[in-house]
């Protein structure tokens, strides 16, 4: 027996985003359901063929999804929110997508971050429905791979504990009851897989990297004892990722046949556990030694050194060399990136290159290092060349950042004093209305940008077009009745990419797409060197918009921690230092906006929460430097300059203190998608700064009614000061259509007028 190679999942979007295009054509009615199904099947098989051709020994199946793997699990169990009037049986595609995106009759389910990644999952709602197995999706995926390609796949399934813990709609003391309800369905799935002759199944339990209570540990043991007993000839690989597993000593006592651990992001904790407890001699170790979230080539000799140490705990025949998590989080292939600097391009490893690394490491373990010496040398040379480049060793940047860190960043006056000065200057009405920043990027806008990028339009042609868009939307905002306007961001492709293109130390791929949510794919910049400000990035468009109206216009920037968290970042220096470099560069942009006469400046930080370490003991330090980076960016402005920020997609109840410590004059936070649940945090915590809780969900194409938004406003104002409350949508409106955007904003302003009449007496 030899060491095997495997991967925990492969990107579903396709090298040219074929997946995204098929989804959007289907949603728009351009693709019949049968043709759509056929297209996705062929894409799914292509991915399997690629892994097979590259020599991956154990290939995952059922890692492909039509939208999101958590939604797949919920619908497989018939767990459809009551508002969709589901009456049992297999969930149709229209219903499946209705849960994810909303319908005219029903709001979409909540969407939030998958642990600390930039991938979003649809939150299952366990609101009293009785679960039932509607179809055995892992079995279907196994059969397809075997019949079409002869692949003996390893079905992937989200584990019961993780599924319940990531769901909503039940009380804390009902978790055990829900596990009891779901357990027979998991048993049925495994029994059917066993009957089919499946050898291994991968059950993902990433929740195990977080701490569990004694009761939860007991449930974990009970669940897996029953699963193993039900299908005794089926081998279970209990898979963890994103960090080291907590309660390792209990985990290895489970009766499963294999355990998968993260030896990249959880390296220190995983090795500590092995050294203290060893590894069971009757289990297989899935060693996640290739980074499933990062884009850099691995130092393969370092990985081999690690694998050699692992073999002191587990024999080679019981060792599987894996990615640390699914490759869903990285682009498909770096082989087509021919526009990058050679030293950067040669240091990249996307999904396909990571497959090669896994196969190479397995060969080195099985045949000896000499068998792959040339490839090992090439990997080391590539990493050394990038490390020695000028872009990674800019003394001017490093000295400047060290200098601004010498003092604690803080505004000149506390919020109460700034509030008085800002009220005097801006004279805004009670419950001022605004938007988060972007307006619809129509086909016309995207075409204009494409013509400009191709050189078919001159700089002036493109600038003239952008001015026309600003003119239109400044007029629309005034007509609708918005109080604080935005210029619309029509010149921006992406809120991170736009700034990265104008800062030094960034690089951009041509095809480096990854899925963010649904069909929304992003192409994260690569922060590969020291970050430096070059020249003002946003002042021209923002000042132009301000010249067209007497109402205040907000400047719009993306904050340092979000730019970092939504980029692929270098791994040779701490992330904290990258954040400070970004903060210093963005501070210069804030100062440029203020100099240009812009007195309200929004520095968005939607991704602060997602960067929060999974281990509680690491969270305080992260929040301290994340807050410090924001304050470094914004602390030099005048008292009358109003600093806004925005956050979305996340749970914030456990970091309200840090949000307040950012000392933004106004923060807007997503709350509509979570059906107002965030408001409960303010029922328990006093918040003394300006705040806007999004009153409608922009991720759904439906236009919310005035009554819905009025209810959200009324609930928020039971616990928040009307004098400090702003009214805005959940997020930017870039992905929405013009007609629905205008209609929704008109309803928002109407709801605001009603709220003003109710609450003016209290001010």
Lookup: tokens for 460: 């002036």
- The token duo for 110 is 């909540």
Give the C-alpha separation, 248 to 237, whole Å.
Answer: 15
| CA–CA dist 438, 421 (Å, integer) | 28
Residue 378, CA distances (Å) to 88, 299, 301, 347 in order: 56, 10, 11, 10
Residue (of 661, 677, 558) closest to 607 by Cα position: 558
Q: Which residues are annotated as a binding site for L-methionine?
A: 436-438, 489, 604
Residue 99's nearest CA partner among 652, 521, 647, 518 is 518
Which residue from 124, 132, 125 is spatially nearest to 87, judged by alpha carbons?
A: 132
**522 vs 656: CA distance, rounded Å:** 28
Characterize the bridge pairing of strands 120-122 and 111-113: antiparallel
DSSP state at residue 27: H
* DSSP letter (8 states) at residue 525: -
SS3 letters for 684-749?
HCCCCCEEEECCCCCCCCCCCCHHHHHHHHHHHCCCCCHHHEEECCCCCCCCCCHHHHHHHHHHHH
Name the nearest CA neighbour of 521 among 156, 71, 18: 18
Residue whose structure tokens are 């969900």:
697
Three-state SS string over 311-333 comes to CCCCCHHHEEEEECCCHHHCCCC
Tokens of 703: 């236009």
**Known binding-site positions for Zn(2+):** 646, 648, 670, 731
Pairing label, strands 504-507, 514-517: unpaired
Task: Decide: helix, strand or coil at residue 135.
Answer: coil
Task: Provide the token pair at 26.
Answer: 């289907």
Distance in angstroms (rounded) separating the CA atoms of residues 394 and 389: 9
Nearest to 93 by CA among 61, 66, 70: 66
653 catalytic? Reply is: no
* Catalytically annotated residue among 120, 265, 329, 699: 699
Feature table: binding site? 17-20, 113, 118, 436-438, 489, 520-521, 566, 604, 610, 646, 648, 670, 731
Cα-based distances in Å from 140 to 7, 76, 80: 20, 12, 21
Q: Are strands 514-517 and 520-522 parallel, antiparallel or unpaired?
A: antiparallel
Which residues are known binding-site members for L-homocysteine? 436-438, 489, 604
Question: CA–CA separation, 243 vs 454, rounded Å?
Answer: 43
219 by Cβ neighbours in 10 Å (0-12 / 13-18 / 19+) ranks as buried
Distance CA 562, CA 537 (A): 17
- Please identify every residue annotated as catalytic: 699
């Amino acid at each position: 027996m030899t060491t095997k190679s495997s991967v925990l999942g492969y990107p579903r979007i396709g090298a040219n985003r074929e997946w995204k295009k098929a989804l959007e054509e289907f949603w728009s009615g351009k693709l019949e359901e049968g043709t759509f199904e056929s297209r996705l099947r062929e894409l799914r098989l292509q991915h399997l063929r690629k892994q097979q051709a590259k020599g991956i020994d154990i290939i995952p199946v059922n890692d492909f999804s039509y939208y999101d793997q958590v939604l797949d699990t919920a619908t497989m169990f018939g767990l459809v929110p009551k508002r969709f009037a589901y009456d049992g049986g297999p969930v149709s595609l229209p219903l499946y997508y209705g849960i994810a995106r909303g319908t005219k009759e029903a709001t979409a389910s909540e969407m939030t971050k998958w642990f600390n990644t930039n991938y979003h999952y649809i939150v299952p709602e366990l609101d009293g429905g009785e679960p039932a197995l509607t179809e055995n999706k892992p079995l279907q995926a196994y059969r397809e791979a075997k019949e079409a390609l002869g692949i003996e796949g390893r079905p992937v399934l989200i584990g019961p504990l993780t599924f319940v813990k990531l769901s909503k709609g039940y009380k804390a003391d009902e978790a055990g009851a829900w596990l009891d309800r779901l357990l027979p369905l998991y048993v049925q799935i495994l029994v059917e897989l066993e009957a089919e002759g499946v050898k291994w199944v991968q059950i993902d339990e990433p929740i195990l990297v977080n701490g569990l209570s004694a009761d939860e540990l007991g449930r974990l043991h009970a669940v897996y004892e029953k699963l193993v007993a039900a299908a005794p000839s089926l081998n279970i690989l209990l898979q963890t990722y994103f960090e080291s597993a907590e309660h390792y000593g209990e985990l290895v006592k489970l009766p499963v046949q294999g355990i998968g651990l993260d030896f990249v992001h959880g390296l220190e904790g995983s090795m500590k556990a092995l050294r203290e407890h060893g590894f069971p001699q009757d289990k297989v170790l899935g060693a996640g030694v290739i980074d499933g979230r990062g884009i850099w080539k691995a130092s393969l000799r370092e990985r081999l050194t690690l694998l050699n140490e692992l073999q002191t705990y587990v024999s080679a025949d019981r060792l599987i060399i894996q990615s640390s998590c699914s490759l869903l989080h990285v682009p498909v292939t770096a082989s087509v990136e021919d526009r990058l600097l050679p030293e950067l391009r040669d240091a990249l490893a996307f999904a396909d290159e990571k497959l090669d690394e896994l196969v190479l490491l397995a060969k080195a373990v099985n045949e000896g290092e000499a068998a792959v010496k040339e490839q090992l040398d090439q990997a080391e040379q590539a990493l050394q060349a990038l490390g020695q480049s000028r872009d990674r060793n800019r003394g001017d940047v490093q000295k400047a950042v060290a200098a601004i860190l010498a003092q604690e960043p803080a505004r000149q006056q506390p919020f109460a004093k700034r509030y008085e000065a800002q009220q005097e200057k801006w004279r805004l009405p009670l419950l001022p209305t605004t938007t988060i920043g972007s307006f619809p990027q129509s086909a016309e806008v995207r075409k204009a940008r494409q013509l400009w990028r191709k050189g078919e339009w001159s700089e002036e042609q493109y600038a003239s077009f952008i001015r026309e868009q600003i003119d239109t939307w400044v007029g629309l905002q005034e007509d609708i009745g918005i109080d604080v306007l935005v210029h619309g961001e029509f010149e921006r492709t992406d809120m991170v990419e736009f700034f990265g293109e104008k800062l030094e130390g960034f690089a951009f791929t041509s095809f480096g797409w990854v899925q963010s949510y649904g069909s929304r794919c992003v192409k994260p910049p690569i922060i590969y060197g020291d970050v430096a400000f070059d020249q003002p990035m946003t002042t021209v468009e923002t000042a132009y918009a301000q010249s067209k109206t007497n109402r205040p216009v907000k400047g719009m920037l993306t904050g340092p921690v979000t730019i970092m968290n939504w980029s692929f970042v270098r791994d040779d220096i701490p992330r904290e230092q990258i954040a400070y470099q970004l903060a210093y560069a963005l501070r210069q942009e804030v100062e440029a906006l203020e100099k240009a006469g812009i007195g309200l400046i929004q520095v968005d930080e939607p991704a602060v929460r997602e960067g929060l370490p999974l281990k509680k003991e690491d969270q305080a330090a992260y929040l301290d430097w994340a807050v410090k980076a924001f304050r470094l960016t914004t602390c030099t402005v005048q008292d009358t300059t109003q600093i806004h920020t925005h956050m979305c997609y996340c749970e914030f109840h456990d970091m309200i203190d840090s949000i307040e410590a950012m000392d933004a004059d106004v923060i807007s936070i997503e709350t509509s998608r979570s059906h107002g649940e965030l408001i409960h945090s303010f029922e328990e915590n006093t918040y003394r700064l300006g705040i806007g809780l999004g009153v409608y969900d922009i991720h759904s194409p439906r236009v919310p009614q005035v009554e819905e938004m009025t209810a959200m406003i009324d609930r928020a104002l039971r616990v928040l000061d009307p004098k400090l409350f702003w009214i805005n949508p959940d997020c930017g409106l870039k992905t929405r259509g013009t007609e629905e955007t205008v209609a929704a904003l008109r309803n928002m302003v109407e709801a605001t007028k009603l709220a003003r009449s109710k609450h003016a007496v209290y001010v």
